[in-house]
Amino acid sequence: MYTHYTHIHTYIHIHTHTYIHTPKGFPVVAGAQHLLNSTLGHSSAAPPGEDHTTPGPASRSAPPGSGCRGPAPGVGSRRRRGARRRSRRSQSRGRRSRSRVTLRDRAGLRPPPPPAGKLGGETAEMVEDGGEEEAEGESGEMPAAAAAPPAQRCNGFLPGKEAEDGGRAAPTRLSRRRLAVLAVFSCYSLVNAFQWIQYSILSNVFAGFYGVSFTQIDWLSMVYMVAYVPLILPATWLLDTRGLRLTALLGAGLNGLGAWLKCASLAPGRYPLTLAAQAVCAVAQVFILGLPSRIASVWFGPTEVSTACAVAVLGNQLGTAIGFLLPPVLVPNTPNDINLMAHNISIMFYGTAIVSTLLFFLTGVVFEEKPKYPPSHSQAVLQTMPPEDYSYKQSIINLFKNIPFVLLLISYGIMTGAFYSVSTLLNQMIVTHYEGEEVNAGRIGLTLVVAGMVGSIICGLWLDYTKTYKQTTLIVYILSFIGLLVFTFTLDLGYLIVVFVTGGVLGFFMTGYLPLGFEFAVEITYPESEGTSSGLLNASAQIFGIVFTLVQGKLTTDYSPRAGNLFLCAWIFVGIILTGN
């Protein structure tokens, strides 16, 4: 290899290869022309019949006497390049017409091609303006890789990637109906709770009317707990397999049926009939207590769930509050006039039956299985799960393998069972120290529950804001323990106003714990069904409630209310230890 310098031009000579002059004035070997043309945007193909070894006219860009050989980029060369460009444009237009989006594509089977200026458009322009002969190959046809249509996409994702990567989230939207669903449920839950406590707050009145013992009157409350334990699993299965609407209708319907049966027990000696009617209401309760968390999660958004659950539980608490307040006012103790007592009881029973029937029809009108659009991304995911993927038996097994849930199951049962026991025996505790104060006993119960309703709302709002489930639950548990201790040691001081205050403090924390337990359970058991976890929590509460009511009632009758309350304090302390773990 050797190099010549002539004026300002550089020449490279390899063996017998001929020099070709470029527009830039740099001669290169003919074999390297393709690389340079690719850079400058020119074709490397020589015109047919042209021989580079034949001297051509001198280049207009070369100075005279340069001695350059090869074709100069003259007029004929520009014409040939223009013809080739027109041919390429014609072929490109043909391909674009063949790949034009059809009406079927626009219907959704394949997304339209990206507009010009986007990545796809830029690529198409590059092929059109640049090395199109290379893309087509020597035969003039598109290569298989380039001719193959793009993979069909669904919702913007390649087939098989939606399940793997989650796909595009389903649209979420809050339904206006959710407020009506929550209101109707809260109302018939209220009536059911009212029917639970209406006997216990008048234990001395009903014991005299039916001619039975206090323990038998206590069983009118405990039948709610007894019925719940064996029926909760079938009721939860029904909720998970048949849905929210059917479960709600069963709860509202049985609630009304039990209320009408009580109207047939308005005579002394009909205690078995009123017990049977109360048992029907107890069965209705099974289809009610597991719904708050399900309604909240299915109908409400992620920032509303805890508050909605608290409001749903609040309806039940409000029923207990009205059950404490209204019966002593409607049915005063008239032991010397049984007929007047029966008349007063009939007003309470018939009024309850009418309201229950109205709420049953409202449930049928308002309740739907679920909103049209899921309220949250987690619900959108759960609603797309195939039904065959859900196993009720496996869900129960998974829950009992979940150690934090098992600890919550016991601690929730202790706290709620203690609340049931205090509510059932409140009349006996107050009347023991304040004889003839049945009405004030009801008012103290009202104070306890109303304060608890406020506590439930505040705790629900706090959870929505902080999401500190375990910490909040533990703090409320400790404060409930302190509240029960204070209530126990101030009950016999002889000042009803003190009992009102301590009862309110106790209710604020003890009743405020109820929605916390539900939401904590849903949090630590996701994606298991809310109905299953809530049902197990309530079953635990009923079992502890039965045991606590029987033992505390016995201690209260044989010893004093203080002995019974200290028994509950010891168990709540155990619950604190379990919650802390």
Q: How does 13-33 read in b/e, with b if 16+ C-beta sit within 10 Å?
A: eeeeeebbbbeebebbeeeeb
In whole angstroms, give the CA distance from residue 167 to residue 151. 16
Phi, psi for residue 315 in degrees, rounded to 5: -60, -45
Q: How does 369-379 read in b/e, with b if 16+ C-beta sit within 10 Å?
A: eebeebbbeeb
Residues pairing with 116 in the sheet: none
Q: Where residue 52 falls among pLDDT bands split at 50, 70, 90?
A: very low
> Is the distance from CB of 377 to CB of 169 less than 8 angstroms?
yes
For residue 340, pLDDT beyond 80: yes
- Specify the DSSP element, H or E, that contains 9: strand 9-13
pLDDT of residue 136: 41
- The listed range with the strongest mean pLDDT (3-12, 355-364, 438-447) is 355-364
DSSP assignments along 366-386, one per residue: H--SS-SS-SSHHHHHHHTS-
Query: What value does the mean pLDDT take over residues 29-47?
Result: 44
pLDDT digits (tens, 9 = 90+) for 105-117: 444 444 444 444 4
In whole angstroms, give the CA distance from residue 100 to residue 112. 9
- Specify the DSSP element, H or E, that contains 239: helix 214-242
Q: CATH top-level class for 177-368+400-580?
A: mainly alpha
For residue 184, pLDDT beyond 50: yes
- In order of 43, 135, 143, 409, the CA distances from 140 in angstroms are 16, 9, 9, 75
For residue 170, pLDDT beyond 70: no
pLDDT of residue 195: 94
| More confident: 357 or 122 | 357
For residue 154, pLDDT beyond 60: no
| More confident: 77 or 581 | 581
| More confident: 124 or 206 | 206
> Is the distance from CB of 321 to CB of 445 less than 8 angstroms?
yes
Query: What value does the mean pLDDT take over residues 206-231?
Result: 89
Q: Which of 478, 513, 538, 491 is nearest to 193 (CA)?
A: 538
pLDDT of residue 70: 45
pLDDT of residue 573: 95
Positive or negative: CA dihedral 228, 231, 232, 235: negative
Where along the chain do its domains lie? 2-73, 86-165, 177-368+400-580
Amino acid at 26: F
Residues in contact with 521: Cβ distance below 8 Å, sequence separation at least 6, in sequence order: 293, 405, 408, 412, 533, 534, 537
Task: Classify residue 46 by its DSSP letter.
Answer: P
pTM of full prediction above 0.75 = no
Positive or negative: CA dihedral 448, 179, 187, 539: negative
pLDDT of residue 78: 55
> Is the distance from CB of 92 to CB of 128 less than 8 angstroms?
yes
Residue carrying structure tokens 């850079």:
39
Task: Classify residue 57 by its DSSP letter.
Answer: P
For residue 275, pLDDT beyond 90: yes
